[in-house]
Structure 1
Amino acid sequence: MSKIEIKNITFGYDTQGTLLFEQANLNFDTQWKLGLIGRNGRGKTTLLKILQNQLAYSGQIIHQLDFLYFPQPIKNKQQLTYYVLEEISDFEQWEIERELNLLQVDPEILWRDFETLSGGEQTKVLLALLFIDDHHFPLIDEPTNHLDIVGRKQVADYLKKKRQGFIVVSHDRSFVDEVVDHVLSIEKSQLELYQGNFSVYEEQKKIKDEFEFAQNEKLKKEVSRLKRTAAEKAEWSRSKEQDKYGKASEKGSGAIYDTGFIGARAARTMKRAKTIEHRMETQLSEKASLLKDIEYIDPLTINYQPGHHKRLLTVENLTLGYQEQDLFNKISFELNQGQRIALAGQNGSGKSSIIKFLLGHFDGESQGVILRPDKLKISYVRQNYEDNHGTLLAFSEEQGLDHQAFLNNLHKLGMEREVFQNRIEQMSMGQRKKVELAKSLAQPAELYIWDEPLNYLDVFNQEQLEKLILSVKPTMLIVEHDQSFLEKVATQVITLTKNN
């Protein structure tokens, strides 16, 4: 059992102008299964890079185990999977087969070309390789991307049974809940460590936020009361000071007034007013220290423009395939205005292929039909969006977007305004996903087709999307593996079954 100690770490990217970490400190045990969470752009992947000494930082990291990062870089995908893994690390064949069996993967996968594996299969193979090595501390970055519901459950069970600790970054709430025993949250102003899983973190974070809100309201009322009292006493003191000089001028007429008493009392009152002002400044200082780590989640907007079409899609006896091998058994369904249909099924069952066929991009074989109205306005969130590039202004002009609406949604999704100056290809994967999503939200559309919209998005973004969809009720066709999200937003689930 050993410790990893982070001492006074300070780091920021030159292009952003602000620090991601400032004098950050943390101690954790290498036996912990630590979930690393935080909003996109807050520095999760950056922290993993700092641990691997890939970025220059000030401060100190003390550790006995070296770090190993997932997903491992692949040099050549166009070869057998076994040889791909051999280029990454040394291992015995029985070791990798043991881990694959634990992940419920047929070891025969090792003798297939790596590039032919599904995203979920590639994830499992690389995880198997990661955990053969018990001399390094695993840093697992977004393992649930491209995993279907069954695959996520299998990987969660695999990680739960591991005796060694790790750090895992994932935006799948249910997955993190299952596999971690500690949570490290990158807040706006600090690193905050919680003992327990994601549900424990959410509950403790909620209690902390509610306490700070209550303290803030209490201090606001107290400051308001002190302001009134100070103003009243200052006004009384000034009026009495004026009275003193007025009465003193009347002495020449023979009148008797104790101007000294009036002056002393006014002075005492003014002193009390100053004391109140000092108390008020203290209260304001305390108030300023509150709410620093509250996450304000602004509602998103969507340019949904339902037309006169009541039925947007009719799918009849559809199946798709390659080389006379169908991807799924025939399906039929209708999508009417206001409905949100989710396509579910295992990796490789043809969910994304249906979307490609609908958009005219499928290059395989098809049977059955999809009927839709002419000139149907469709907005599409793609699973792969690496071709988005350039400045945000040039991108929005190229896409024909309302630039202000596009930027507003980006900011509401948590993208800092200083990032607006960066080129899209220089952004983090989470930020690039937000660009793709904000593009879709800004496009005028009757039908929204979203292919795995939650990949790389944080839990706050997921909540924003849930609230937006439930409020506006746009017509949607969705492919997504996050079960809790689908349970909230989908009006119907179509499950594809593989044609064996």
Structure 2
Amino acid sequence: MLSITNLSYYIGGRPLYEDASLFIKPKDKIGLIGLNGRGKSTLLKLINGDYTADSGSISKSNDCTIGFLNQDLLSYQTDDAIVTVAMSAFKDAVDTQRQIETILHKLETEYSDDLVEKLTKLQERFDHLNGYSMQAKAEEVLEGIGFSTADLHRPLKQFSGGWRMRVMLAKLLLEKPSLLMLDEPTNHLDLPSIEWVENYLRNYEGAVIIVSHDRRFLDNVINRTVEVTQQQLISYEGNYSFYLEEKELRKEIQQNAYENQQQKIRQTERFIERFKAKATKSRQVQSRIKALEKMDMIEEVVDDTAAVNFRFKFNQQPGRYIVTLNNVSKSYGPLEILKNTSIQIERGDKIALIGANGKGKSTLLRIVAGEEPVEGERVVGYNVIKAFYAQHQLESLHVENEILEELLQAGSGKTEQELRNVLGCFLFSDEDVFKKIKVLSGGEKSRVALAKTLISEANFLLLDEPTNHLDFISENILIQALQQYQGSFIVVSHNRYFVTQIANKIWYIEDKQIKEYPGTYEEYEFWRKKNELNNTEVKPEPKPKVEKVQPEQRPKAINNESQRKTLEKNLRKVEEEIEQLQAKKNKIELEMTQPEVYGDFNKMQKAKNEFNVIEDKLQKANAEWEQIAIEIDKLS
């Protein structure tokens, strides 16, 4: 359907892609992954034609249509109702409907048979285009991704950027292009909407490419993973979990291949050194020299898994209760968020606050933080020191400060080296710590703000969507930090993998009440689904099977490996023997130069006999070494 061949693209002389290739089939569900800044969004824009490749080609079949959801659509505004914007996906049907309305208006004053005939044909065409159902389809998709029925006829310009992005997503889903490209679609969706989109995309008839840092979303949608790494596109035939397992296997194979190649190089170099002066071996020596020159070098595996160790220090330990809310109510005019609800946070609680947008999660977080006035009672516990992280904290960073300077001014009392260590955990190393805040990407600013939050020595953290704009490595760092954190925290997040890793309690808002599930997210999800199915047995979804090669399927490889190891063991024994014989030979040669030996016929004769015996053994050992080396060479 679409083919990328030897693609190269440069930004300011720096290659994002070099001779990269990828083939996309009609029903592929591809997750495009990689570190921030590696060119994932750029690749989508190259495919869409927004950018032009420096070399190589991107070709598509004649019937291939492309729909592209990107962050640039956030700025789109119109006075049209959102259902009208979504229905613009049915362009032909909408145009036909307008023509029908025009003729109907004319017929009110200019009745004629020609107009009636034209109207009849247009109505037939409208019916053929499923025009009578397009509004119902648009409403279904819009409500599926979180809009209420009352919202459908509100103008698009009245909604925030995130909600406008949802409308554009709905329009794309309704257009049903043969290739649908989505850049971070879950950034603006709540959990119910994410689950709805997952189900929609799983059953989508065309191909899909998704750039996302939501692991659970990728696992539930994609059947193929493409990693952007080292200017290449590396494909894995499975979802994200399969990719992680397969990548570990490939890394192990690559490392073994690297070590085997290095051993082969050392053996070849020893062969060349030993026989380079021997005329009878000159052809074999030259052959090995050429083989070394032509050898494709295998790179040693570099482990990019970031493991971190945070040392959190609390000057004050809090009491048993962190924050207590008693009969709390919160309203914005006629809109009630909470009504006479009570809940308590205890020391050691690691709470994930989840649920649909518009239920009041961020409002509740601000209430807990004491930044939102409420009716009712909010009681802060003994010795509680809080730190609050939200996206607006990025705006409070001092843009003219360097990263290290920003942390030094945070007042944590930590030394420069301690702060460097913290920044190193957040992937700011060496000279990176002297970058100005103003030149950082959104993801880098998020990491700086998170680092400031974590060094505050607070014993209670409040985090609002902390994984937004973080790549997988940065997310992994935050997970490890929160797992090592000995204090209490409450996190608002729609990232299910993240929540699964860090929470021991789940909060959600239902019927204007704060509800608590006393367990992990996986336990909560099982309980919720069970309730939804009226207590019928819920079987967990099976994990994608990874086909493993059984030993009996590769006896030849195992036999070769076993044989190679035996030969290498024998080779080492022969090398030891050669070294011992060479040492004896050198010793006898030295003795034969002494006057008391070469001046005595009997002693000289005895030394010559010993020398000949050693020389004979050495020749045989060298011949044996050469033969074993050749056998190993055949197996490599």
* The two structures share one fold, judged by TM-score above 0.5: yes
* Cα displacement (A) at 1:56: 4.6
- The answer (yes or no) to whether the contact 2:87–2:135 under 8 Å persists in 1 is no
| 1:238-291 C-alpha deviation (Å, 9 max, x unpaired) | xxxxxxxxxxxxxxxxxxxxxxxxxxx99449x99x969x78995997665242
| 1:106-125 C-alpha deviation (Å, 9 max, x unpaired) | 55422235466588755543
| 1:352-386 C-alpha deviation (Å, 9 max, x unpaired) | 11222234433x64433141446x54333313455
Amino acid paired to 1:6: I
- The answer (yes or no) to whether the contact 1:34–1:182 under 8 Å persists in 2 is yes
Relative to 1, partners in 2 of residues 1:499 and 1:190: Cα closer, same or farther, differing over 3 Å? same
Partner of 2:75: 74
Amino acid paired to 1:13: I
Amino acid paired to 2:476: E
1:51-66 superposed matches below 5 A: 51-59=47-55, 60-63=57-60, 64=62, 65=64
* Cα displacement (A) at 1:302: 4.0
1:1-400 superposed matches below 5 A: 3-14=1-12, 18-59=14-55, 60-63=57-60, 64=62, 65=64, 67-71=66-70, 72-76=73-77, 80-82=81-83, 92=94, 94-95=133-134, 97-102=136-141, 104=144, 106-114=148-156, 122-135=164-177, 137-218=179-260, 267-268=277-278, 282=292, 288-291=298-301, 294-302=302-310, 304-306=312-314, 307-311=316-320, 313-317=322-326, 318-323=328-333, 325-328=335-338, 330-336=341-347, 338-362=348-372, 365-373=374-382, 376-385=384-393, 387=395, 388=397, 389-390=399-400, 392-393=402-403, 395-396=406-407, 399=410
- Unpaired segments ≥5 residues, structure 1: 238-264
Q: Distance in 2 between matches of 1:66 and 1:416?
A: 44
- The answer (yes or no) to whether the contact 2:312–2:486 under 8 Å persists in 1 is no
Relative to 1, partners in 2 of residues 1:97 and 1:117: Cα closer, same or farther, differing over 3 Å? farther
Q: Distance in 1 between matches of 2:276 and 2:336?
A: 93
Partner of 1:251: none
* Cα displacement (A) at 1:477: 1.5
Q: State percent identity of aligned pairs.
A: 23
Q: Secondary structure at the match of 1:162?
A: coil
* Cα displacement (A) at 1:194: 2.1
* Cα displacement (A) at 1:58: 0.5
Which has the higher mean CA deviation after the structures are superposed, 282-291 or 434-443?
Answer: 282-291
- The answer (yes or no) to whether the contact 2:317–2:459 under 8 Å persists in 1 is no
Q: Distance in 2 between matches of 1:109 and 1:21?
A: 43
Which has the higher mean CA deviation after the structures are superposed, 317-326 or 344-353?
Answer: 317-326
Quick check: 1:483 aligned with 2:511? Answer: no
Q: Distance in 1 between matches of 2:431 and 2:178?
A: 36
Which has the higher mean CA deviation after the structures are superposed, 488-497 or 419-428?
Answer: 419-428
| 1:404-444 C-alpha deviation (Å, 9 max, x unpaired) | 66665555545697877765455444333333323333443
Q: Name which of 465, 469, 472 aligns with 1:452.
A: 465
Q: Secondary structure at the match of 1:128?
A: helix
Amino acid paired to 2:19: Q
- The answer (yes or no) to whether the contact 2:394–2:446 under 8 Å persists in 1 is no
Q: Secondary structure at the match of 2:378?
A: strand
Bigger helix fraction? 2
Amino acid paired to 1:27: F
Quick check: 1:499 aligned with 2:499? Answer: no
Relative to 1, partners in 2 of residues 1:310 and 1:365: Cα closer, same or farther, differing over 3 Å? closer
Q: Distance in 2 between matches of 1:472 and 1:282?
A: 52
Relative to 1, partners in 2 of residues 1:266 and 1:299: Cα closer, same or farther, differing over 3 Å? closer
* Cα displacement (A) at 1:208: 0.6
- The answer (yes or no) to whether the contact 1:322–1:365 under 8 Å persists in 2 is no
Amino acid paired to 2:199: D
Q: Distance in 2 between matches of 1:88 and 1:327?
A: 35
Q: Distance in 2 between matches of 1:298 and 1:467?
A: 10
Partner of 1:262: none
- The answer (yes or no) to whether the contact 2:83–2:139 under 8 Å persists in 1 is no
- The answer (yes or no) to whether the contact 1:141–1:170 under 8 Å persists in 2 is yes
- The answer (yes or no) to whether the contact 1:35–1:183 under 8 Å persists in 2 is yes
TM-score (norm 1): 0.76
Q: Distance in 2 between matches of 1:420 and 1:46?
A: 27
Q: Secondary structure at the match of 2:344?
A: strand
| 1:69-94 C-alpha deviation (Å, 9 max, x unpaired) | 21424333787434666899957495
Relative to 1, partners in 2 of residues 1:299 and 1:143: Cα closer, same or farther, differing over 3 Å? same
Relative to 1, partners in 2 of residues 1:83 and 1:218: Cα closer, same or farther, differing over 3 Å? same
- The answer (yes or no) to whether the contact 1:342–1:493 under 8 Å persists in 2 is yes
Q: Secondary structure at the match of 2:174?
A: coil
Q: Distance in 1 between matches of 2:477 and 2:304?
A: 11
Q: Distance in 1 between matches of 2:425 and 2:237?
A: 30
Q: Distance in 2 between matches of 1:41 and 1:266?
A: 50
Q: Secondary structure at the match of 1:144?
A: helix
| 1:445-491 C-alpha deviation (Å, 9 max, x unpaired) | 32222111222323333333333333344432211122333232212
Amino acid paired to 2:67: L
Which has the higher mean CA deviation after the structures are superposed, 129-138 or 110-119?
Answer: 110-119
Partner of 2:602: none
* Cα displacement (A) at 1:299: 2.5
Q: Secondary structure at the match of 2:227?
A: strand
Q: Distance in 2 between matches of 1:420 and 1:326?
A: 45
Q: Distance in 2 between matches of 1:151 and 1:185?
A: 26
Q: Secondary structure at the match of 1:356?
A: helix
Amino acid paired to 1:461: S
- The answer (yes or no) to whether the contact 2:308–2:477 under 8 Å persists in 1 is yes
Relative to 1, partners in 2 of residues 1:107 and 1:357: Cα closer, same or farther, differing over 3 Å? closer
Aligned length: 458
Q: Secondary structure at the match of 2:247?
A: helix
Relative to 1, partners in 2 of residues 1:397 and 1:473: Cα closer, same or farther, differing over 3 Å? closer
- The answer (yes or no) to whether the contact 1:304–1:445 under 8 Å persists in 2 is no
Q: Distance in 2 between matches of 1:99 and 1:395?
A: 48
Which has the higher mean CA deviation after the structures are superposed, 454-463 or 87-96?
Answer: 87-96
Relative to 1, partners in 2 of residues 1:107 and 1:189: Cα closer, same or farther, differing over 3 Å? same
Partner of 1:242: none
- The answer (yes or no) to whether the contact 1:80–1:113 under 8 Å persists in 2 is yes
Amino acid paired to 1:309: P
Q: Distance in 2 between matches of 1:11 and 1:420?
A: 29
Relative to 1, partners in 2 of residues 1:462 and 1:280: Cα closer, same or farther, differing over 3 Å? farther
- Unpaired segments ≥5 residues, structure 2: 95-130, 514-636
Relative to 1, partners in 2 of residues 1:73 and 1:118: Cα closer, same or farther, differing over 3 Å? closer
- The answer (yes or no) to whether the contact 2:32–2:211 under 8 Å persists in 1 is yes
Instruction: Kindly report the root-mean-square deviation, in angstroms, between the aligned alpha carbons of the 2 structures.
Output: 4.1
Partner of 1:259: none
